[in-house]
Structure 1
């Protein structure tokens, strides 16, 4: 596992995605590790090289005894960015990670491009955090887990008890009490409010309309003191990346990426690149070779909008979008398109079992006869694919 030494601690980090994409560093909240970003990682990797790390005292990072400071945590972030080779980077941090982002933006702005502060505050009640420190030191993480989960998430999300929730709860219980209380001390002693005006990079402050830990007013306070900062409120509690991952990603991507399309030619080029990626260059080249003056405008239209808008959206993972297309083509009896997308899915490495599962479900919702035809045609395409 990659670690970087920062002061008196080894900080665990990892990088995921294409190294040619812009680097985005993510900072976790207190009581979580970098897996708190798992629900949004696949989509973010479509746009960024994602660098995650476990805050000091959490996950696989060291948990030295004693109180930590925001300066230490900010230096940990700097050490991770250096180890990852990110000379400049965007940063998004939630809760404690947002506090680290504020410190970093104030004290080490030279490497930051843009800053996203999620569900965080620049000033909190020191007595409340000292009480939490005393409770955990006396009784362990189990003594506050239900309180913490009730602040992390809405009651409905907790009641659903889904796998993402279970993962966050388990991580909280496994967090070092020494590391947790060390970070509590950093929050207790935080002093950044008076210096927020020194943050000069473009900044977005994300709040949760049902966040009781750092309510929307805390985010508005921060945004009001950072020149040019903007705000966005999401329908979630404290850990929005788990509770509303699609809206959370929409928000980050919109703020952190430059529009890929400015002209209709841009849209066509963007769509053509995506079409070749999804269907394979050889297939697309063959189809383009058959374009005639009669269908040229229609083919350009399809490339601009089917491929330049729908298929380029990262809201769905490719496998999900392929399943949706196969289901719709089967239900409508568009068998030529169905076979084309079965073949494209196989070329992209989709397992035949995924296609089988899609057709079994289609038998329930689109009818057995349609599914029967789908199995027949897909079976032929699968055999042909096996034979090369």
Structure 2
């Protein structure tokens, strides 16, 4: 076992992968050890040299009595980096690991090249954590094991993988009470919220759709105050390395190995497309559409915003009115009634064309695409016209 000594405390770590790859440090949540990453590691090894660390108090590291702090845990990481001979590395951390990663970037910015903050937060409820610490110190980790696993994994995942849930529970029960309570104190006492805006390293924020501990709302969203931070959503609950290893690994590889210039260009196209989309469809519809994005649909939504709305709707050859009328004729001819209704509603509401112009498009469509298509188009348009008149 690879060990680093710091102030008389043994810290356990494991280095894997080719020596010519960039180093990625993987940090764990409270209540887990480096095995948290077992399902994700094989998907990362071709791109990175991986340094997995058992946080003080967990796994093969010592578990001294007393309260730990995020600065203490960040200094532990630096001591291991020194031992391994790594001057600067990217750091990915889940939950507590993400908090340690942020503290590391603040206290030792020269040692951190990039951050991946996974299902984590810059602020938690101190009273709730004090209660959990008191329970562990009085009754042991077994008293909170079921509650913790219930937050770690989604019910659907547990149903199909009960052995994983059982292993996580067993790991919590076997963890030293002092280690869990000490790490809990680091979460309780964190002072990150007012400082994270000063982080300058490239940062990826990863949230999970079913995470009830650190969801996007109230937690992940605030981490986007880090300048230039990017957000990715994945499926599952609080531990993506277990529930969503493929999606998480893909996000890490794209963020840490991707072409920065290409990413910037994609962001520029997205923003340009979003402006066109808002101009044509209106802010209310676009805001609603963006709010409905899921990890499954987000990439598709980004693609159509960049390509359809930036590249096509941004071309100078035709004005918006002409493009609107072309879309109506094409969607009517193809029977794409949801898209047809969207553009009828937006065009009439935003003043993009008149009802007379809409009628002429449908008359033309009847000749070139068939009377049945135009007949349905008139019926769909009439419903929308009636609705808009009712709302006026």
TM-score range, shorter chain: 0.5 to 0.7
Report what 1:219 is aligned to: 220
How far the C-alpha of 1:166 sits from its partner, in A, is 3.3
CA contact (8 A) 1:6 1:75 kept: no
Secondary structure of the residue aligned to 2:142 is helix
CA contact (8 A) 1:14 1:52 kept: yes
1:250 aligns with 2:250: yes
- CA deviation profile, 1:20-39 (whole Å, cap 9, x unmatched): 11100000000000010000
How far the C-alpha of 1:8 sits from its partner, in A, is 4.1
Report what 2:355 is aligned to: none
Report what 2:298 is aligned to: none
Distance 1:184 1:250 in 2: 30
Report what 2:174 is aligned to: 174
Distance 2:58 2:77 in 1: 14
Runs of 4+ in structure 1 off by over 6 angstroms are none
CA contact (8 A) 2:124 2:188 kept: yes
Report what 2:324 is aligned to: none
How far the C-alpha of 1:163 sits from its partner, in A, is 4.0
1:12 aligns with 2:12: yes
How far the C-alpha of 1:173 sits from its partner, in A, is 1.7
CA contact (8 A) 2:23 2:49 kept: yes
Distance 2:144 2:202 in 1: 36
Report what 1:24 is aligned to: 24
How far the C-alpha of 1:161 sits from its partner, in A, is 3.1
Report what 1:154 is aligned to: 154
Secondary structure of the residue aligned to 1:170 is helix
How far the C-alpha of 1:118 sits from its partner, in A, is 0.4
Secondary structure of the residue aligned to 2:24 is strand
CA contact (8 A) 1:31 1:175 kept: yes
CA contact (8 A) 2:158 2:164 kept: no
Distance 2:162 2:125 in 1: 32
Report what 2:235 is aligned to: 235
What are the within-5 Å matches in structure 2 for residues 51-90 of structure 1? 51-90=51-90
Distance 1:16 1:167 in 2: 23
Report what 1:101 is aligned to: 101
**Unmatched segments (≥5 aa) in structure 1:** 263-388
Secondary structure of the residue aligned to 1:193 is coil
Distance 1:32 1:56 in 2: 11
Distance 2:164 2:146 in 1: 16
Distance 2:164 2:50 in 1: 20
1:138 aligns with 2:124: no
**Unmatched segments (≥5 aa) in structure 2:** 263-392
1:113 aligns with 2:133: no
**Number of aligned residue pairs:** 261
How far the C-alpha of 1:162 sits from its partner, in A, is 4.3
Distance 1:155 1:57 in 2: 28
How far the C-alpha of 1:107 sits from its partner, in A, is 1.3
How far the C-alpha of 1:185 sits from its partner, in A, is 0.4
Distance 1:7 1:101 in 2: 21
TM-score (norm 2): 0.65
Distance 1:100 1:196, change over 3 A: same
CA contact (8 A) 2:105 2:112 kept: yes
Distance 2:80 2:130 in 1: 29
Name which one, 1 or 2, has greater alpha-carbon Rg.
2
CA contact (8 A) 2:105 2:111 kept: no
- CA deviation profile, 1:19-76 (whole Å, cap 9, x unmatched): 1111000000000000100001111111100000100000110111000011100001
Distance 1:7 1:226 in 2: 32
TM-score (norm 1): 0.65
